[in-house]
Amino acid sequence: MRITFLSTSVGPLGSGIGGGVELTLRTLAAGLAARGHVITVLAPRGSTLPNLPPTVELVQVDGALHVPSQTLDRGTKLQVPHDSVLVTMWKMARDQAERGECDVVLNFAYDVVPFVDAPLAVPTAHLVSMGSLSDEMDAAVTSALARKPNCVAMHTRAQAATFGASVLQHANIVLSGIDLANYPFVATPGSDLAFVSRISREKGIDDLFHVASLSARRVQVFGIMEDEVAWRDAQARYPEAEVHHVGFLSTRELAAQLGQCAALVMVHRWVEAFGNVAIEAMACGVPVVTYDRGGPAEIVSDGVTGYVVKADDPGAVAAALTKIDAIDRATCRAAVVAQYSASAFAERVERWLSAQATVG
């Protein structure tokens, strides 16, 4: 198949602004190309996709970036800026479809435009990157599935359930995956904890500082500083917590440092659609302690690859960390190899996209 990817519209690929969807897009581009497909990625100007095969073409698109949906209230109408990069990317995809240059368009943008605009000359499939955050987006997803069942994929059942029973019933669940070659296994770690995320309130930065305080363990934080106020507020509330912001790193740099950590902590205040960082950590042999909320609770096997604890309970996280050495790190790696490799992910998505192209 010739597949056109419609990238996230909130930031350039490689910037970290798009969160986990950036890794998902890059992994799928490489995985589908390895399976013989030709990929064209339409992405905002400044995007990078290093080390991908020649059958993956990156097209840089000018235009204004969109405001991330997670920063808006549920009832706020999603704004399409003047000279929108998403509208331009969508027009380019339409032109490619009309010229017969692609067989299917795979949309990664969490925005209503590709869901509600007039259909293209080829099928459009939507891989939704987050749970329900916007009433307008909920309606768009439901409407798309009503027009063409199975045109929407989600990463986990927990994510799909946030959009309602109908979406949970009809959306395709494709999980996620990573290129295991980028994540070396570390059998003997240090004592630091890891937190891999944008720095924001919905990611639970306050709870992270609380966990650091309760456990008396140093936390290495990997991710862009999106909300400095939230960071400073948490610092002020837990001055004794030893939390170090490393910053946003490339995949290989992240894996090198992540693998040295004793555990990954996930204390998200919203429903994580999947939680790529959980499988990134486990691939390095790092067990995960997560709240029982969203995708990570479906990924982590309690007592086997980490611990799943009551949501919004930093004390439960700290208690789980006292027994983290009981988790076998090789088992964590094996779990990712079995289900979350890039090739397994690409195969799941390939089956879904092939069905879209066949139905038309």
CATH code for position 323: 3.40.50.2000
The predicted pLDDT at position 87 comes to 97
Task: Write out the DSSP string of 198-244.
Answer: -SSGGGTHHHHHHHHHHHT--EEEES----HHHHHHHHHH-TT--EE
* pLDDT tens column, 101-123: 999 999 999 999 999 998 899 99
Provide the pLDDT for residue 283.
Answer: 98
pLDDT in tens, 295-306: 999 999 999 999
Q: For residues 281 and 308, state if they share a domain.
A: yes
187 and 102, same structural domain? Answer: no
Beta carbons of 64 and 97 less than 8 angstroms apart: no
Which DSSP string do the residues of 51-118 spell out, in sequence order? T--TTEEEEEE-SBPPPPGGGS-TTSPPP--TTBHHHHHHHHHHHHHHTT--SEEEE---SSHHHHSP
Burial class, 48, CB count within 10 angstroms (exposed 0-12 / middle 13-18 / buried 19+): middle
**Quick one: 167 and 36 in the same domain?**
yes
Average pLDDT on 255-261 reads 98
pLDDT value of residue 163: 96
- Do 17 and 140 belong together in one domain? yes
Q: Are residues 332 and 346 in the same domain?
A: no
Report pLDDT digits (tens) over 179-199: 999 999 999 999 999 999 999
What's the whole-number mean pLDDT along residues 127-146? 94
* Contact (Cβ atoms closer than 8 angstroms) between residue 25 and residue 59: no
More confident residue, 150 or 282: 282
Q: Verify that 71 and 142 share a domain, yes or no.
A: yes
CA angle 286, 290, 291 (to 5 degrees): 180
Lowest-pLDDT range of 78-82, 235-239, 344-348: 78-82
CB 203 within 8 A of CB 264: no
Contact between 55 and 38 under an 8 Å Cβ cutoff? The reply is yes
Please give the pLDDT value at position 69: 84
In this predicted structure, what is the pLDDT of residue 161? 96
Q: Does the pLDDT at position 360 exceed 60?
A: no
Q: What is the mean pLDDT of residues 37-44?
A: 98
Question: In percent, how much of the chain has pLDDT > 70?
Answer: 99
* pLDDT tens per residue, range 50-65: 988 899 999 999 999 9
The total domain count for the chain is 2
pLDDT of residue 332: 98
Q: How far is CA 62 from CA 15, 84, 107, 135, 234, in A?
A: 16, 8, 18, 28, 37
8 Å CB contact between 182 and 252: yes
Q: What share of the chain is helix, strand, coil (3-state, %, to 5)?
A: 40, 15, 45
Q: Are residues 188 and 236 in the same domain?
A: yes
Q: Which helix (H) or strand (E) holds 193?
A: strand 193-196
pLDDT of residue 68: 86
Residue 314 sits in the same domain as residue 247: yes
Q: Which pLDDT score, from 0 to 100, does residue 359 have?
A: 57
Whether 282 and 347 map to the same domain: the answer is: no
User: What band does 220 get if pLDDT is binned at 50, 70 and 90?
Assistant: very high
Cα 126 from Cα 129, distance rounded (Å) = 9
Round to whole Å and give the CA distance between 157 and 318: 27
Q: Are 333 and 345 within one domain?
A: no
Band (pLDDT 50/70/90 cuts) for residue 263 is: very high
Instruction: Identify the CA nearest to 279 among candidates 347, 345, 332, 221.
Output: 332
Q: How many whole angstroms separate alpha carbon 135 and alpha carbon 130? A: 13
User: In degrees, to the nearest 5, what angle opens at C-alpha 136 toward C-alphas 352 and 271?
Assistant: 65
Mean pLDDT over the full length of the chain: 95
**How much is the pLDDT for 73?**
85
Per the structure, the complete domain to which residue 286 belongs is given by 180-339
Cα separation, 72 vs 82, in Å, equals: 18
Same domain, 99 and 187: no
Judgement on whether residues 123 and 203 belong to the same structural domain of the protein: no
Give 135's contacts (C-beta < 8 A, 6+ positions apart).
74, 75
Residue 202: count other Cβ atoms within 10 Å of its Cβ: 18
Give the mean model confidence (pLDDT) for residues 214-225: 96
